[in-house]
Structure 1
Amino acid sequence: MPAEAPRARFFYGWVVVGAVFGALFVAFGAAYSFAAFFNALRDEFGATRSDISLVFALSGFLYFGLGAVTGLLADRLGPRRVIAAGIVCIAAGMAAASLAQAVWQVYLTYSLGVGVGVGLVYVPAVGVVQRWFIRRRGMASGFAVAGIGAGTLVMPLLAAASIDALGWRPSWVILAAVALVIGIPAVLTIVPNPADRGLYPDGDRQPPPALGPAGGPAVRQAIRSAPFWLLFGAGLSTSLGIFIPFAHLTPYARDQGYSDAFGALLIGFIGIGSIAGRLLLGSSADRLGRRRSLAGTFVAMGLCLAWWLTAVQAWALILFALAFGAAYGGFVALIPALAADYFAGRSFGAILGLIYTSAAVGALAGPTLAGALYDARESYDLPIMLGIALNGVAVLCTLILRDPAPVPRPAAAPAAR
Structure 2
Amino acid sequence: MNFVARSEANRFYGWFVVAAAFVITLVGFGSAYTFSSFVGPLQREFGASRGSVSLVFSLAGCLYFALGVVSGPIADRWGVRKLAAIGMGLVGLGLILAARSHTLRQVYVAYTLGIGIGVGCAYVPTLGAVQRWFVKRRGLASGLAVSGIGVGTLVMPPLASWLIANFAWRGAYLALGIVAIGLGVGAALLMENDPGSRGQHPDGRQAGAQAPETLREGLSVREALRTARFRGLYLGCLVGSVGVFVPFVHLVPYATDRGIRVGTAVWLLGAIGIGSTFGRFLLGNVADRIGRGRFLVSMYVGMAASLAIWAFGGTPVPLFAFALTFGLFYGGWVAILPAVAADCFGAKHLGAIIGALYTSVAIGTLIGPSSAGFIYDFTHRYAWAIAISAASSGVAAVVTAMALKVSR
Bigger shift: residues 301-310 or 203-212: 203-212
User: For 1:299 and 1:11, how far apart are their aligned partners in 2?
Assistant: 36
Is the 8 Å Cα contact of residues 132 and 215 (structure 2) preserved in structure 1?
Answer: no
Q: Deviations over 1:91-129 (max 9, x none)?
A: 110000001111111001012211110111110011110
Is the 8 Å Cα contact of residues 214 and 347 (structure 2) preserved in structure 1?
Answer: no
User: How many equivalent pairs are there?
Assistant: 397
Aligned partner of 2:287 in structure 1 is: 285
Query: In the alignment, is residue 362 of structure 1 matched against residue 368 of structure 2?
Result: no
User: For 1:382 and 1:166, how far apart are their aligned partners in 2?
Assistant: 36
Q: Secondary structure at the match of 1:199?
A: coil
Aligned partner of 1:414 in structure 2 is: none
Distance change in 2, residues 1:235/1:208 (3 Å)? farther
User: For 1:28 and 1:131, how far apart are their aligned partners in 2?
Assistant: 22
Percent identity (aligned): 46
Distance change in 2, residues 1:259/1:134 (3 Å)? same
Aligned partner of 1:407 in structure 2 is: none
Alignment of 1:25-36 (within 5 A): 25-36=26-37
Is the 8 Å Cα contact of residues 79 and 125 (structure 1) preserved in structure 2?
Answer: yes
What residue identity is the alignment partner of 1:286? D
Aligned partner of 1:349 in structure 2 is: 351
Q: Secondary structure at the match of 1:189?
A: coil
Aligned partner of 1:60 in structure 2 is: 61
Distance change in 2, residues 1:78/1:207 (3 Å)? farther
Q: Deviations over 1:331-374 (max 9, x none)?
A: 00010000001122331111100100111011110011101111
Query: In the alignment, is residue 76 of structure 1 matched against residue 62 of structure 2?
Result: no
What residue identity is the alignment partner of 2:268? L
Is the 8 Å Cα contact of residues 90 and 117 (structure 2) preserved in structure 1?
Answer: yes
Alignment of 1:55-204 (within 5 A): 55-204=56-205
What residue identity is the alignment partner of 1:331? W
TM-score normalised by length of structure 2: 0.94
Q: 1:170: how far off? A: 0.7
Which of the residues 218, 221, 240 maps onto 2:220?
218
Aligned partner of 1:269 in structure 2 is: 271
Distance change in 2, residues 1:254/1:143 (3 Å)? same
User: For 1:18 and 1:44, how far apart are their aligned partners in 2?
Assistant: 38
Q: 1:259: how far off? A: 2.1
Q: Which runs of 5+ in 1 are unaligned?
A: 1-7, 405-417
Which of the residues 377, 380, 387 maps onto 2:379?
377
Q: Which runs of 5+ in 2 are unaligned?
A: 1-8
Query: In the alignment, is residue 314 of structure 1 matched against residue 312 of structure 2?
Result: no
Q: 1:230: how far off? A: 1.2
Is the 8 Å Cα contact of residues 84 and 185 (structure 2) preserved in structure 1?
Answer: no
Bigger shift: residues 130-139 or 228-237: 228-237
What residue identity is the alignment partner of 1:337? A
Query: In the alignment, is residue 295 of structure 1 matched against residue 294 of structure 2?
Result: no
TM-score normalised by length of structure 1: 0.92
Q: Secondary structure at the match of 1:311?
A: coil
Q: Deviations over 1:155-205 (max 9, x none)?
A: 111110010011000111100111112112211111111111111111111
Q: Secondary structure at the match of 2:245?
A: helix
Is the 8 Å Cα contact of residues 132 and 200 (structure 1) preserved in structure 2?
Answer: yes
Is the 8 Å Cα contact of residues 215 and 347 (structure 2) preserved in structure 1?
Answer: no
Q: 1:258: how far off? A: 1.3
Aligned partner of 2:6 in structure 1 is: none
Q: 1:208: how far off? A: 4.6
Q: Secondary structure at the match of 1:47?
A: coil
User: For 1:29 and 1:388, how far apart are their aligned partners in 2?
Assistant: 24
Distance change in 2, residues 1:79/1:403 (3 Å)? farther
Is the 8 Å Cα contact of residues 88 and 117 (structure 1) preserved in structure 2?
Answer: yes
Is the 8 Å Cα contact of residues 281 and 293 (structure 1) preserved in structure 2?
Answer: no
User: For 1:158 and 1:292, how far apart are their aligned partners in 2?
Assistant: 36
Is the 8 Å Cα contact of residues 27 and 90 (structure 1) preserved in structure 2?
Answer: yes
Q: Deviations over 1:17-76 (max 9, x none)?
A: 001001111100110011111111111111100011001001000001111011011112
Q: Deviations over 1:200-225 (max 9, x none)?
A: 11111135546599441111100000
User: For 2:191 and 2:338, how far apart are their aligned partners in 1?
Assistant: 18
User: For 2:354 and 2:274, how far apart are their aligned partners in 1?
Assistant: 26
Q: Secondary structure at the match of 1:134?
A: coil
Distance change in 2, residues 1:196/1:375 (3 Å)? same
User: For 2:276 and 2:252, how far apart are their aligned partners in 1?
Assistant: 18
Bigger shift: residues 341-350 or 84-93: 341-350
Q: 1:264: how far off? A: 1.7
More helix by share: 2
